[in-house]
Amino acid sequence: MTGSQLTFDVQGESLEATLLSPDKLVPGILFIHGWGGSREQDMVRAEEIAQLGCICFTFDLRGHAKHAEERNVVTRSHGLADVTAAYDYLVRQDQVDPSAIAVVGTSYGGYLAALLTAARPVNWLALRVPALYPDEHWDVPKAKLDRDLINAYRARFRTGREDRALAACERFAGDVLIVESEHDDYVPHATISSYMSAFHNSNSLSYRILKGADHSLRDEGGRRAYNQLLLTWIEEMVRGGRRASSSDAQAEANLPSQATKLAQG
């Protein structure tokens, strides 16, 4: 909220007033769907979060939706380039505050979101069932990666010394939400534990388990529970960020100007 002190004239007299305006810039929320998903899967969540006063951006990764014919050729390198370009597009919007960006990623999208934090500033990071992949074969098409090798990799606890996504998480200093599904056949608890341990430099870390939920949230109850959980967390983060911005602005306003200091000195 921005406050301006002003005067206006009425019948020859000047009245003092204060004009309060909402902040011109609002938080931006980037959604990254999982492998085999699409932007449509995040639309309900995006619409609800947009009502908080945020600008939400969902998109289809290459190899999905209208680009499904590329499914067997796109690599993780392509995926990271896609999310980086999406981030850049979002922060270029006139109303988006580049210092208030949240990224919400699911499964493969969560993995890409973690990598994104090493290349772009992110304040708030929400990861639902985030996946992990060995660093090797980075430029091999995602659809052709060895599934048995991936499963074995995820089954063991990992650190940033051996995984670039976890290394990015270890450097992340913002706020984090990690959501695990109780009955996940793709992302075991060892992977979730690896992520949670990696965020030791984060400002805050929230962890939730969706009881009875599977990896894809095929049950309507699981989807509703996650939607509400994400909405509540984003609202808490956004409101906290706005309060901090307001406090900083007020503190600056209370400081004497440099000219005043010189005059007093």
pLDDT at 42 over 80: yes
Q: What is the pLDDT of residue 248?
A: 55
Taking Cα atoms as reference points, which of 14, 13, 59 lies closest to residue 38? 59
Q: Give the three-class secondary structure for 265.
A: coil
Q: Which domains does the chain carry?
A: 25-236 (3.40.50.1820)
Q: Structure pTM?
A: 0.85
DSSP 65: G
- Contact between 84 and 114 under an 8 Å Cβ cutoff? The reply is no
pLDDT digits (tens, 9 = 90+) for 102-127: 999 999 999 999 999 999 999 999 99
Q: What is the rounded CA–CA span in Å between residue 54 and residue 48? A: 10
